[in-house]
């Protein structure tokens, strides 16, 4: 099960990067890809954080394309 431990470390690293990206994205980056985020409350932004941590690669890709 050595491979499983390595795989889990990979997942943890992915999620840790997702947390860092997510905190920036929900408070800053999201408005750059979706105009409806303007004026959104901090509760709404935090509500988006869990999925941002899980799907941050998709959002990063979308953000880079729209820059």
Partner 1 sequence: MSVNYTTVQWNRQKRRYDRIMLGIMVLYLLTFTFLQLVFYPLTSPETLIIRATGTLAFIMLQFILCIGPLARLDHRFLPLLYNRRHLGVTTFLIGAVHGVFNVIQFHSLGYVDPIFSVFASNTHYASLQDFPFQVLGFFALVILFLMAATSHDFWLKNLSPRWWKSLHMLVYLAYGLLVFHVMLGVVQLEQSPMWIGFVGFGLLTLVSLHLMAAGVEKKRLLEQMDKAAVGEGFYQVCSAEDIPENRAKMVYLEGQNIAVFRYDGKVSAVNNICRHQHGPIGEGKIVDGCITCPWHGYQYLPQNGQSPPPFTEKLETYDVKIVDGMVWVNPSPYPEGTERPAAIIQA
C-alpha 46 chain-centroid distance? 11
Q: Is residue 13 at the binding interface for partner 1, with CB under 8 A as the rule?
A: no
Q: State the nearest-atom distance from the C-beta of 38 to partner 1, in Å.
A: 6
Could you say whether residue 10 binds partner 1 (CB under 8 A)?
no
39 binds partner 1 (CB under 8 A): yes
H/E run at residue 24: helix 2-24
Token pair of 40, please?
Answer: 């959104």
CA atoms within 13 A on the CB side of 26: 20
How many chain residues touch partner 1 (CB under 8 A)?
24
Check residue 59 for interaction with partner 1 (CB under 8 A). yes
């Amino acid at each position: 099960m050595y491979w499983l431990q390595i795989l889990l470390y990979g997942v943890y690293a992915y999620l840790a990067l997702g947390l860092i990206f997510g905190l920036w994205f929900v408070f800053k980056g999201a408005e750059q890809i979706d105009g409806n985020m303007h004026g959104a409350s901090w509760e709404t932004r935090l509500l988006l954080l869990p999925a941002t941590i899980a799907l941050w690669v998709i959002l990063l890709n979308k953000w880079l394309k729209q820059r």
